[in-house]
Amino acid sequence: MNSNNEINLEVHAHHCEVEPELQAHIEEKLHHLERLWPRLDDAHVRFTQERGRFVAEVTLISGGMITRGEEVADNLRLAFDNAMDKLERQLRSYKKKMLARERRHNNRDDEAGTVLHPVFDPEVDLANAPVAAPALDADATDGDEQVVRVKRFALKPMSPEEAALQMDLLGHVFFVFRDAESDQVSVVYRRRDGSCGLIEPVSD
């Protein structure tokens, strides 16, 4: 789909088929989402069938920011609708935090409880930190861990505040980014109390 609103839609299906009715439903839902998020540029929808159930993964790209939602259901349409509902909640939360960010001054904690004062953890070896947390076998024991999925992506220069918002949009507990001011690779992460911390590299 690439209409007047310039949304680029790609739909892929693995071990299942997207009927024209569902394709039209997908386009309609995305157009509806534009009322909430008018800067939507690209949308990627991926359907897979696993053990008789259907997985819908929806990825939205807007102004360089990425939002992703994934849900499982008994049919394709329900899985897609649930994933879109999750994305809508994430976008509403993002907009709320953007407004809070505009009101925040001098790096004070915002209304959502985000803490962005630099935090250095001496136990973290940032040079060898993974871009994405490795998924481990449920029965793995000491010495038996194995990386089962690797993700690679370009590090976009951004501020710690933008990185924290991107982390929330993706639903991750940490996010690796390149600091636009220092040009250093840094990490924002979700703390146990729900606030957000920042890890910055330092020279020995």
Does 158 reside within a domain? yes
Tell me if the pTM is above 0.85: no
Planar angle of CA 122, 193, 162, nearest 5 degrees:
75
Containing domain of residue 12, as a range?
A: 8-103
How many domains is the chain built from? 2
165, 98 contact by CB (below 8 A): yes
Kindly report, residue by residue over 34-48, the tens digit of the pLDDT. 888 777 889 999 999
The answer to the question of residue 165 being in a domain is: yes
CATH number at residue 76: 3.30.160.100
CA dist 160 and 163 (Å) reads 5
Residues 6+ apart with CB under 8 A from 36: 88, 91, 92, 95
Question: Do 88 and 170 fall into the same domain?
Answer: no
In a domain, 204, yes or no: no
Last residue in a domain, options 103, 138, 159: 103
Residues 96 and 135 in one domain: no
In this predicted model, what pLDDT tens digit does every residue of 61-102 receive, in sequence order? 887 778 888 999 999 999 999 999 998 888 888 777 777 766
Taking the C-alpha atoms of residue 56 and residue 88, their distance in angstroms, rounded to an integer, is: 15
- Decide if 115 is inside a domain: no
Rounded CA separation 95/65 (Å): 13
Residue 131 in contact with residue 149, Cβ under 8 Å?
A: no
Inside any domain, residue 54: yes
